[in-house]
Structure 1
C-alpha cells in the first residue's frame, strides 16, 4: 500500500532538524579528538614575566576561595583591582597577599569590566598578561600549563574554558551550556584556520592570556570599551589584525563556579545572550525556536525524527561534559535536563530582549 506523501511542514522540519543534529554530532566528534586540554606543568626556568590580573567588584565571598590558588602559581605579580566594591573586597585581597589597586571612576562611554582591565593593563609590568575573573580557581601547575600551551600554539591571545563546578540543582540547569555552546557549534580546526575569520574566533573572558605586545597593538581594552561581550569582540579584533587567537579547555587545571542559583544564571546569561547572537534579536529568536523544535517538541508531539532527536537531547550534554572533564555521576546526569533546557532558558532570552540590562549594580544599553 502506498504511503501518503509527507506534508510540507514535516519535510521542512525533518530537513532542518537533520542538518542541525548532524552538524552538532559531527562537531562534538571532531572536538572530542582535537580540542586541546590544559595540563599542569612547572613554570619554565627562563620564562617570560607573567602578570596575573583580577578585576574584582564585590568579590569578598569568592576571593578567600580562589585567590590563594592564583598567588601560589609563581607569577611575577598578582594584582587585584577593587572596582568600587562595597563589601570589603580590597581588604580581603590585601590580607591574602595580593597587591591591590583602587579602581578609578569610570569614564563616560566605558563599561565596567573593560575599564577595570584597562587600569590593570596600565599597572602591570609582565610580558604575558593574564586576566582572570575572581570566581576562577587555579590549581597546581596551571600557569605552567598555560604558558606551555601559549608557546606551543604560537597564540597572541590564549583563552581558557574553565571546568564548570556546579554543586546545587539550580546551578546545573543553565551554567553547563557555556561548554555546550563552544563544543557543539565550533569545531576546533575551524577556530585555527588561517586567516582566522571573525565569526570563527571565540574567547572566554574568565581567563584571557595575552602577549603584551598584541594587547598594546590592538589598543588595549579601549578597543572594546563599550562592549558587554568584550572577550569575543577583542578576539575578533586581534584576528582582524592577523594575530593568533586560540582557546583551550581548563579541565583539572582551571575551574570556575560562575553562579550559585538558577536566578543568578538567568541574570548572568541574560546579559550576554544578545551579543552572543551578534546583537540580532531576529537571530536570537530563531535560535530559541530551533532549540525548542529540536530538543523539546519531540517529547510532546509525534514529529518526524523524534526518536533521533530525543536521543540527541539526552546525550548532547552528557558528551559535552565528558569532553570538558565533568565526569562525576551528578555531572553526567545533567543530560536528563536536555528536553527541558530550552524551556528553562526562556527567561534568559526574555531578559536579553530588553533595551537595557543590569549587572553588578550597573545598567547597560543593548
Structure 2
C-alpha cells in the first residue's frame, strides 16, 4: 500500500495540469483589432541594458497601431536609460516611446506607489498579495491565456535562475500559506518537500525496482510531457525532470536558509533591507 500516496499525488498533479491546459478563456477566442483606444505599455526596468532594446523594439512592432511604450528606469546603474533615450530618438519611435526615471521610494514602500498598491506596499511579491486581497474583498480577477502571442525569457544563465527563484520563493511562498505567523515562518522550509515526490520515485525505481515507483514515474513523465507541449518546449527534455526537481529542492532549501533578506539587481529586499 506504500505506493498509494505518491500515485495519488501524481494523479492530482496530472489533473491540475489538464485543467491548466484546457481552461479558458483564451486570447485567440477574441476578434483581433488593429486600432482602437490608446494602450500604454509600461516596462519597469532595472539594469536591463542587455535586454531592453530587444524588448522595446518588439513592443513597438506590434500590429496594434494606437500604442505607446513607457519605460520606467528604476535607478539603473548600467546603460539602460541611455539605450531607451537613443531608441526614443528613432523616427519609428517618435511620440510612441518615453523614458520615466524612477525616484527614491517613500519609507515603508517597496514599489509601485499608485492606486490599490498602497494596501500591499510592504510586499515585494505584491502581485500575489494584491490578488489575495482582491479575493478577500470578493473582487473579480480576469485571466486569459495568450501564450501563442508572446514569449519572454526571465533568465539567461543557471546562476540567474538560482538567484531569481531564491528571491521569489523567499518573499512569495509565505503568501501562499494561511495568514498565520507560525505557518508563514515555516513555509520556506515546507515548500521543498513536494519536490521529493518528483525525486524519490525515479530513484526507488532505479535502485530497488519498486513497482509503485515505476507507476508514479510514468505518471510524472506524462505530466511533464503535457507541460512541455503546452509551453512549446522540446519534449525530450522531460526525461531530465528528476534533475529539475532536485534543482528546485536545492533552490527552496537555499531560499529557506537565507531567510527573508535577498538581493536582486544590486538591491536588497526583505525585512530590514535598505
Residue in 1 aligned with 2:263? 358
Residue in 2 aligned with 1:87? 78
1:234 positional shift: 1.4
* Higher strand proportion (structure 1 or 2): 1
**1:351, 1:357 within 8 Å by CA — same for their partners in 2?**
no
1:109 aligns with 2:108: yes
Residue in 2 aligned with 1:236? 132
1:83 positional shift: 0.8
1:333 aligns with 2:230: no
The separation in 1 between residues aligned to 2:211 and 2:187, in whole angstroms, is 24
TM-score, structure 2 as length reference = 0.80
**1:314, 1:337 within 8 Å by CA — same for their partners in 2?**
no
**2:189, 2:253 within 8 Å by CA — same for their partners in 1?**
no
**1:357, 1:364 within 8 Å by CA — same for their partners in 2?**
yes
Query: Where do 5+ consecutive residues of structure 2 fail to align?
Result: 89-96, 178-183
Residue in 2 aligned with 1:298? 201
1:290 positional shift: 2.8
**1:316, 1:335 within 8 Å by CA — same for their partners in 2?**
no
1:76 positional shift: 4.1
1:195-274 paired onto structure 2 within 5 Å: 216=115, 219=116, 221-274=117-170
**1:314, 1:339 within 8 Å by CA — same for their partners in 2?**
no
**1:228, 1:271 within 8 Å by CA — same for their partners in 2?**
no
1:29-108 paired onto structure 2 within 5 Å: 29-39=18-28, 42-43=32-33, 45=35, 47-73=36-62, 74-97=65-88, 98-108=97-107
The separation in 1 between residues aligned to 2:137 and 2:72, in whole angstroms, is 29
Deviations 1:31-70 (A, max 9, x none): 332244433964365x443211111111111111110121
Distance 1:35 1:334, change over 3 A: farther
Residue in 2 aligned with 1:131? none
Supply the RMSD in Å over aligned alpha carbons.
2.4
1:249 positional shift: 3.1
The separation in 2 between residues aligned to 1:89 and 1:243, in whole angstroms, is 37
1:60 alignment partner, SS class? coil
Query: Where do 5+ consecutive residues of structure 1 fail to align?
Result: 1-10, 122-215
**2:3, 2:213 within 8 Å by CA — same for their partners in 1?**
no
Runs of 4+ in 1 over 4 A off after TM superposition: none
The separation in 1 between residues aligned to 2:145 and 2:85, in whole angstroms, is 30
TM-score, structure 1 as length reference = 0.61
**1:52, 1:77 within 8 Å by CA — same for their partners in 2?**
yes
1:21 aligns with 2:10: yes
1:253 positional shift: 0.9
